[in-house]
Amino acid sequence: MRWAALLAVLACSRGAVGPAPLDTRNESCASCRMAVSSQKFAGQVVAPGEEPRFFDDLACLAAWLKAHPLPSGARAFVADHRTGEWVPAGSAVYSRASIDTPMGSHLIAHSGVASRDLDPQARGASPAALGSGP
């Protein structure tokens, strides 16, 4: 029975890491150290065996990714601005909108074009890339 439990744990640990839940009351940005006060603008890096790194603004996530190689097995996630759901950073659709973001980047993410088009705050936004300047 012990071997079965051990094998189950090992099998689960080898799978791709998923996003961690964000506690906006207790998390600070891994880049600028400001409080992560809204999931709508947040990002995160999750690596096996490490605490997740949260970011208060997508510009902070982009700066961290530029300065640090992703740890082995790590994945980056961004929050869909409309739904708050975590999506892989590499498959998100990014826009620069005329809304205030925590660090003033105006950069927001969505899971896809359909989510962006349903977000009233993204109307009139211009396409952008993670890491693109203001």
Domain boundaries, the chain: 18-128
The pLDDT tens digits for 15-70 are 689 999 999 999 999 999 999 999 999 999 999 999 999 999 999 999 999 999 89
Name the pTM for this structure: 0.85
What pLDDT does 16 receive?
Answer: 82
Q: Which of 15, 18, 39 is nearest to 88 (CA)?
A: 18
Helix ranges (H only) for 15-128 are: 58-67, 113-118
Residue with tokens 């300065």: 67
